[in-house]
Amino acid sequence: MEFIVDQLNDLMARNLYRRPFTVSERHGCRVVIEGKELLSFASNDYLGLSQHPEVMKAAAEATMRRGAGTASSRLVQGGMGFHRSLEGKIAEFKSCEDALVFSSGYMANVGVLTALIDEDDVVISDELNHASIVDACKMSGATVVVYPHKNMERLNQALEEYSLIEKILVVTESLFSVDGDLAPLRDITALAREHGAYTLVDDAHAIGALGRDGRGAIEHFGLQGKVDFIVGTLGKALGGLGGFAAGKAEFIDLLRNRARSFIYTTAPPPGVCAAAEKALDLIVRDPKPRKRLRDNVNHLVHKLHRTRFKPLHRESHIIPIVLGSAETALEVSRRLLQRGIFIPALRPPTVPEGASRLRVSVTAQHTRDDIDRLVEALEAIDIPAVT
Ligand SMILES: Cc1ncc(COP(=O)(O)O)c(C=O)c1O
């Protein structure tokens, strides 16, 4: 199949070829790859909950009691009690009337957007929104208007331009997954309300880390009840797998009837749901990991500012160091690997051309020594950094 080989060769020639590493072991932020122990700054397990003893126990017990799988989609064999139990907990966590669990955050975005909007509607989307939002917007068939990253003037312009359209949906990530900066959610919700538009916020990376009780960026900005539709994932700070939508009861009811990525797929298994429920309890119950995460971020940002490797943003635990070409980013990543540090290079199409980078993901499990080790390793690299 020549066309496949051609495509692969083309990716290799442009330094865009990807091959997933095989991690044989993972203990917190330490991973073993090809027999070598590495310090990882590549994980979304921001609070270390994926290996928390209580979370693992909840998953194991639920699996032993109810089985490894659910054997059907929710609408075929009927949802099991543990799905509704988790959904009740998510709704409470996000201060919403109801919630619906999906098999992943990607599927949640696809299900929500395609259920809410169609060819007659307009969706206005930040240019840096995650691929799952981009794909979902396309699948919906709605007119998609993309505004420059966080540019409220352009968002306002788009809202005015389409003011005759009955249903307009503004969609944004709350904490941008690749740039690590926060969306101006207060301005976005206010503008949308002013123009009679709806808002959808993907809170994937903020849950567990932001807000007084770790409920995410919507809590951080005091916007509970002001966002129409919320999407999140159970696979990042919650340490498990799955996604969810939360909002008014009628929204969730519509999703159960219209969201194809909910209807036509096997329901999440008991262990996955039990783990997520326990993780939500722990986030609210124990603020210490969240505080450690913040302290670690402050320490790293402070140290990086004294080096050539300036962070693009310092608003969160996602700290991007932009290096320019894919080749440079790959080389820096390789050199770090030689020094026992694992941070894969993000390259196009994940990031724009010329903005390849290291996405440094800080977690509550890193120690100050770990962070110092990363900074020392970066400083020892003789490649000029571009920001
Ligand atoms: C903003 C955002 N939304 C959704 C997703 C998808 O979540 P999941 O990994 O649960 O499919 C991601 C994952 O990278 C993300 O960053």
Q: What is the pLDDT of residues 48-69, one digit of tens each?
A: 999 999 999 999 999 999 999 9
Tell me what pLDDT residue 26 has: 94
Q: What is the CATH number of domain 53-285?
A: 3.40.640.10
**pLDDT value at 39 more than 80:** yes
203 lines ligand 1 (CB under 6 A): no
Q: Which residue, chain included where needed, has tokens 């160091």?
A: 321
Tell me what pLDDT residue 356 has: 94
Q: Tell me: the pLDDT tens digits for 148-198?
A: 999 999 999 999 999 999 999 999 999 999 999 999 999 999 999 999 999
Domain ranges within the chain, ordered by starting residue: 2-40+287-379, 53-285
Residue 299: both structure tokens together: 């320490």
Q: Tell me: the pLDDT tens digits for 351-365?
A: 999 999 999 999 999
Instruction: Give per-residue burial for 294-318: e unless 16+ CB within 10 Å, then b.
Output: bebbebbbebbeeeebebbebbbbb
What proportion of the chain, given as a percentage, has pLDDT over 90?
A: 89
Mean pLDDT of 33-47: 96
Arithmetic mean of pLDDT over the chain: 95
- Which one has a higher pLDDT value, 198 or 18? 198
Q: Which residue, chain included where needed, has tokens 């930040």?
A: 126
Kindly tell me the sign of the dihedral angle through the C-alpha atoms of 131, 132, 137, 141: positive
pLDDT bucket at 19, cuts 50 / 70 / 90? confident
Mutate to test the pocket of ligand 1, among 45, 101, 175, 177 (most ligand atoms within 8 A of CB): 177
Looking at the CA of residue 233, tell me the nearest atom of ligand 1. Answer: 10
Tell me what pLDDT residue 313 has: 87
Kindly give the distance from the C-alpha atom of residue 81 to the centroid of ligand 1, in angstroms, as a whole number: 26
Kindly give the distance from the C-alpha atom of residue 382 to the centroid of ligand 1, in angstroms, as a whole number: 34
Percent helix, strand, coil in the chain (nearest 5)?
Answer: 40, 20, 40
243 lines ligand 1 (CB under 6 A): yes
289 lines ligand 1 (CB under 6 A): no
Same CATH topology for 2-40+287-379 and 53-285: the answer is no
**pLDDT value at 386 more than 80:** no
Q: Give Cα separations from 177 to 125, 183, 235, 345 (angstroms).
A: 15, 11, 13, 14
For residues 145 and 138, what is the distance between their CA atoms, to the nearest angstrom?
11
Cα angle, residue 12 at apex, residues 10 and 16 outer, rounded to 5°: 95
DSSP string, 38-60: EEE---S-TTSGGG-HHHHHHHH
Mutate to test the pocket of ligand 1, among 43, 45, 106, 126 (most ligand atoms within 8 A of CB): 106
- Closest residue by Cα to atom 4, ligand 1, is 105
181 lines ligand 1 (CB under 6 A): no
Kindly give the distance from the C-alpha atom of residue 236 to the centroid of ligand 1, in angstroms, as a whole number: 8
| Closest by Cα among 346, 287, 249, 268 to 108 | 268
pLDDT bucket at 75, cuts 50 / 70 / 90? confident
Beta bridge partners of 361: 318
Mean pLDDT of 370-387: 84
174 lines ligand 1 (CB under 6 A): no
173 lines ligand 1 (CB under 6 A): yes
| Closest by Cα among 236, 257, 232, 235 to 247 | 232
Kindly give the distance from the C-alpha atom of residue 243 to the centroid of ligand 1, in angstroms, as a whole number: 8
Kindly give the distance from the C-alpha atom of residue 245 to the centroid of ligand 1, in angstroms, as a whole number: 13
268 lines ligand 1 (CB under 6 A): no
- Closest residue by Cα to atom 9, ligand 1, is 105
The residue type at 367: T
Q: Cis bond leading into 349, ω under 30°?
A: yes
Looking at the CA of residue 129, tell me the nearest atom of ligand 1. Answer: 1
Q: Give Cα separations from 251 to 138, 143, 232, 248, 328 (angstroms).
A: 21, 21, 15, 5, 46
For residues 337 and 301, what is the distance between their CA atoms, to the nearest angstrom?
21
pLDDT bucket at 384, cuts 50 / 70 / 90? low
| DSSP one-letter code for 233 | E
Superfamily of domain 2-40+287-379: Aspartate Aminotransferase, domain 1 (3.90.1150.10)
Tell me what pLDDT residue 270 has: 96
Cα angle, residue 318 at apex, residues 314 and 319 outer, rounded to 5°: 50
Strands (E), the chain: 23-27, 30-33, 36-40, 98-102, 122-126, 143-147, 168-173, 198-202, 229-233, 243-247, 318-324, 341-342, 345-346, 356-361
